[in-house]
Structure formats: structure tokens, C-alpha cells
Amino acid sequence: MPAESGASMRVGIVSPIVTLFPGAHADWEADAGIAELAGIAADADALGYEFLTCSEHVAVPTEVAATRGGTYWDPLSTFGFLAARTSRIRFATQVLVLGYHHPLEIAKRYGTLDLISGGRLVLGVGVGSLRAEFDLLGAEFDGRGARADEAMVALRAALSQPEPSHHGEFYEFDDIVVRPHALAPRVPLWVGGRSARSLRRAIELGDGWVPFALGRTELTAMLADRELPAGFDVVLTASDLDPIADADRTRHRLGTLSQAGATAVAAGLRATSAGHYREQLAALAELVDLTAPIRPGVAS
């Protein structure tokens, strides 16, 4: 069921620069680099934002890039760099495609990231939908849902353990040492998707759900049909926010997401430059107490 009205909702940011969707990113992002991203991350860290995001695609076919975009920074190296320049903000893969990796590969690489960042990893995972990329990487596309389910079980067994063990249909390991491993005793696993099955996977195997491309009515109905575990996160996205020029609309949109059941929101900010983006971060932090409940404002 949705979170109670007025429940605390944390705010993170949809990182600019790292993913460029055609028609959905600002012009300045294409020319920006790690220096601009590091400055944004440092400001978000200091202001109290909960997390920042980075998505994964390894190689996007040219014809697909025209609609999905072709720029996707690697989340592991990006977060590793930002970990040294921040102290508290969390790093959320949104999402890592499970079928592209063996669970032990994820456990070692992202467990190391969790360790060096002081336990700040949120591992957002997804099943994946781009068959051409699966084929390119030699990964199985058919049956990927069942593989993803087991991969999450294997990850839970391996992320925070030096001598993990798992026996399943697709993955089998025992009598091994994985060091370093995650610092957190339980790394949060957020599941991306828009289907009832993705929500089921999140509830049964994860710690949160990151839906996309769902209308409020459909989203509310899906959440109302399920009893969510205590502490379970529903992470919704608010795009194109402009807290400087339109504070009322920004407040209203965040409040609407809270009413829809969000426990956390990934904020996408409208900006004309990296400097303007940082100003928007500060404005949103002033507009919304990042540690207090978010309630509906007045729409313009």
C-alpha cells in the first residue's frame, strides 16, 4: 500500500551529464565533463540530498541510440571518482542490467565501491530490454527474468560476505573468498521496471522499486494492490523541476509524488549551465526541507 500521507520522503537527483537522452537533456550537458559533475555532486552532498544516479548501457546500436541515446557513463568508475569528493551522499545505479554480469562480478566490483565510499552504495538493478546489446555481449536474452530473480538472490548472498555461497539453477558458487566486499551488512537493492512483475520482484527480493513511464492512476493501483514491507522504498522521478523560477509548481509536484506513495524522489532539474544547475540545487534545498515530510504546494 502507498506510504501514509505526510510520511518523510527523501530527495535525490537524477545526475545530469552522465546520460544524454535525445530531446531530453540540456545543450550544456553534452559539453560538460567530470569537473562539472564533481562540483554538482559536492554541492548535492553538502546540501543534504540523499542520492545521485547513474545508468548503465555498455554499447547501444546506432539505430537505437537515435531514440534511447548513446551516451551512458559507466556507473562504477563515475561513482568511484565521486566517492573521493563527497562524504555522505549515496550512489544509486539506476539501473545496472543484471544479465550483463555474473553476480560475483557485481559483488566484487560494487562491493569494493561500497567499501571505499563508506557504505554509500544503492544497487539499482533491472532485467534489461535491449536484445541487440544482450546479443553483442553474449548474454542470454530469453529467460532473463528468471535469471534476474536468481541473480538478486545470489547478490544478497555475496555482496556483504567474504565467503559467499549460493546454489541455484543459473549460478553456483561455494568455497570461495570475495575480498574486499561491501561494508554495509545489507546493501539496498532497488528494482527498476514498470510491470507488475518488476514490483513483485522488488517486494520479494529487494528493498525498493523504481518505476518509470507509469501514469499516477496506474501506479497508485499497482501499489494499492500490494502490501509493502516495512522500510520498502518507492522511488519516483520528478523531471524538469525549476525551483528558482517556479517554486509553487515544484513544491506541488513533489507533494503529488508523496501522495502517490513515493518514499524517495529522484529530482531532475531544469538548467542552462552547470552553474545554473548548482543554483537550482541550492534553491530546491531551500524550498524543501530535505529531512522533513514533503507536502503538496500550490500549482501555478
Share of the chain above pLDDT 90, in %: 85
pLDDT tens-digit readout, 128-161: 999 999 999 999 999 999 999 999 999 999 999 9
Question: Taking the model in full, what pTM does it have?
Answer: 0.92
CB contact at 8 A, 159 and 111 = yes
The topology (CATH level 3) of 12-101+111-126+188-287 is: TIM Barrel (3.20.20)
CA torsion angle 208 211 216 218 (round to 10): -100
Angle between helices 196-205 and 216-224 (to 10 degrees): 40
Q: What's the pLDDT band for 298 if we cut at 50, 70, 90?
A: very low
Q: What's the pLDDT band for 289 if we cut at 50, 70, 90?
A: confident
pLDDT tens-digit readout, 167-183: 999 999 999 999 999 99
DSSP, collapsed to helix, strand or coil, labels residue 268 as strand
pLDDT on residue 8: 55
Q: Are strands 172-173 and 189-193 parallel, antiparallel or unpaired?
A: unpaired
Q: Which residue has 571505499 as its cell numbers?
A: 116
pLDDT on residue 216: 86
Q: What's the pLDDT band for 291 if we cut at 50, 70, 90?
A: low
pLDDT on residue 29: 97
pLDDT on residue 13: 97
pLDDT on residue 288: 87
Q: What does 147-187 look like in DSSP terms, one character per residue?
A: HHHHHHHHHHHHTT-SS--EE-SS-EE-S----S--SSSS-
Q: Which residue has 575480498 as its cell numbers?
A: 179
pLDDT on residue 290: 78
* C-alpha cell recorded at residue 181: 566486499
CB contact at 8 A, 189 and 156 = yes
Residue 292: pLDDT over 80: no
DSSP class of 48:
T
Closest CA to 94 of 125, 59, 140: 125
Q: Which residue has 562480478 as its cell numbers?
A: 105
Q: Which residue has better confidence, 216 or 92?
A: 92
* C-alpha cell recorded at residue 109: 566490483
- The domain segmentation of the chain, as residue ranges, is 12-101+111-126+188-287
Q: What's the pLDDT band for 213 if we cut at 50, 70, 90?
A: confident
DSSP, collapsed to helix, strand or coil, labels residue 269 as strand
Q: What's the pLDDT band for 104 if we cut at 50, 70, 90?
A: very high
What is the rounded average pLDDT for all residues in the chain? 92
> For 54-62, what is the mean pLDDT?
94
pLDDT on residue 6: 39
217/220 Cα distance (integer angstroms): 5
Q: Where on the phi/psi map is residue 156: left (φ > 0), alpha (ψ -120 to 50), or beta? A: alpha
Share of the chain above pLDDT 70, in %: 94
CA angle 290, 295, 300 (to 5 degrees): 105
Count CA atoms within 13 Å of residue 23 on its CB side: 4
Q: Where on the phi/psi map is residue 175: left (φ > 0), alpha (ψ -120 to 50), or beta? A: left
> For 67-94, what is the mean pLDDT?
96
